[in-house]
Amino acid sequence: MPLTISTKKAVWGECVQHKYSYCCYDSILTKVFAEGVKEQTGRGWESCNDLTIADLKKISFRECKPGETPRKDRCFSTEKHSEFKQVLFRQASKNMQGVKNIEGISKHMQDAMSIPD
């Protein structure tokens, strides 16, 4: 998902240059987590690191039920929840050695997304 898209136009209205900016995360898990949190908090992609500890305290990891929306009902969309679970289980066995509980996972996410303590 592009963070910003810039377009420059020539004098005759023809586009001559496109510029895209993207958010980069240290792992797929962190990316999927950030997307899910942004869905719940209603944060846009104007900034990659605009999530706060207060945001993290408000989110829920549960999957949205039919008819629910992430922002209104504080849940992960079914698609994002499924993707998050798949990546979490895949990555848990190889990249998160030493993480033994949810606090460890939370700290890993915080560090990966450069969220201040």
Cα–Cα distance list, 31 to 8, 23, 40, 65, 101 (Å) = 29, 9, 14, 23, 20
Q: Residue 23 pLDDT more than 70?
A: yes
Mean pLDDT for the stretch of residues 8-23? 68
Cβ atoms 73, 66 nearer than 8 A: no
Domain ranges of the chain: 25-112
pLDDT band at 59 (very low <50, low <70, confident <90, very high): confident
pLDDT at 88: 79
- Does the pTM exceed 0.85? no
Cβ atoms 75, 65 nearer than 8 A: yes
pLDDT at 97: 58
pLDDT band at 101 (very low <50, low <70, confident <90, very high): low
Mean pLDDT for the stretch of residues 7-35? 76
Question: Which residues are registered as beta bridge partners of 5?
Answer: 20
